[in-house]
Amino acid sequence: MDLVVFPEYALHGLSMDTNPEIMCRLDGAEVTAFQTACRNNKIWGCFSIMEYNPHGNPYNSGIIIDDKGELKLYYRKLHPWIPVEPWEPGNIGIPVCEGPNGSTLSLIICHDGMFPEMARECAYKGTEIMLRTAGYTAPIRHSWQITNQANAFCNLMYTASVCMCGSDGTFDSMGEAMIINFDGTPLVTGGSRPDEIITAEVRPNLVREARKLWGVENNIYQFGHRGYVAVKGGAQDCPYTYMQDLVNGCYRLPWEDEVVHKDGTSCGFPAPTRTYKGEELPRIPSERGG
């Protein structure tokens, strides 16, 4: 194998405990152990950590380490699972990195994959294989399947997704890792058995070929070049109200006032008092915009 991917919460367990004593740090013992394991076994690895944040709630973070033990990608989950998860929303965007054999990788975490904008951003930055780590339980199984497939097809990229498996006595995590072809077809799907490892061969050169040569189904290109048969170069405007409103800081749903869950109080968390500061912090450099 070139790359092994572990699920979200692999170290922490499916727990919302934010005790600083059990949080990880990028320069801590856990990450050092991951780096040593990758180097000693000459394999790339993708890992999950709950990361100490001196300025607020911990981050739900993911890292990719190469076969020499070097940290290649560092990501903070943008969309914690509301209202269940207490993690600070990520503020460093979605990085990409060069992966094994010249592939281009990105990483999103669990609930991130339910937002099509996340996968589109990965593809827009050149991702050929999008990793998705998760800790979902069985009621999410159908959504897990269709989003992994849709994210692949709509962006002409492989998706490789792994969910934690087994029971901790309270929660039953569903497992069902899957690798999806860039046309949306499952290449391999796991079950709900703990310690199961699924494997598949993915060929990024086929992604590159499809992105160059496909017509009708070249969704990632057509999105920004609407109607290029009729209009030279296609329309390259932004006709989507929600995008314009989000950029302008006035995103508001027609049913906004009727939404019941607007914080984590229903799950036992105190109502937050801090406002979000979205400044971008230093991150690992990438050749492809990460």
What does the alpha-carbon distance between residue 192 and residue 180 come to, in Å, rounded to a whole number? 18
The three-point CA angle 257-147-162 to 5° equals: 115
Helix/strand/coil for 100? helix
| Cα 94 from Cα 90, distance rounded (Å) | 9
Residue 73, SS3 per DSSP: strand
- Separation between Cα atoms, residue 125 and residue 290, nearest integer Å: 8
Structure tokens of 249? 């800081």
| Amino acid in position 199 | T
CA quadruple 135, 137, 141, 146: dihedral positive or negative?
negative
- Cα separation, 56 vs 273, whole angstroms: 11
3-state SS, residue 132: strand
Query: What DSSP element (H or E) covers 93?
Result: none
- Quick one: which of 60, 56, 34, 31 has its CA closest to 45? 34
The partner residues of 236 in beta bridges, in order of sequence, read: none
Residues labelled catalytic: 8, 77, 110
Q: How far are the Cα atoms of 13, 73, 99, 111, 131 from residue 26, in angstroms, in the given order?
A: 19, 11, 20, 23, 20
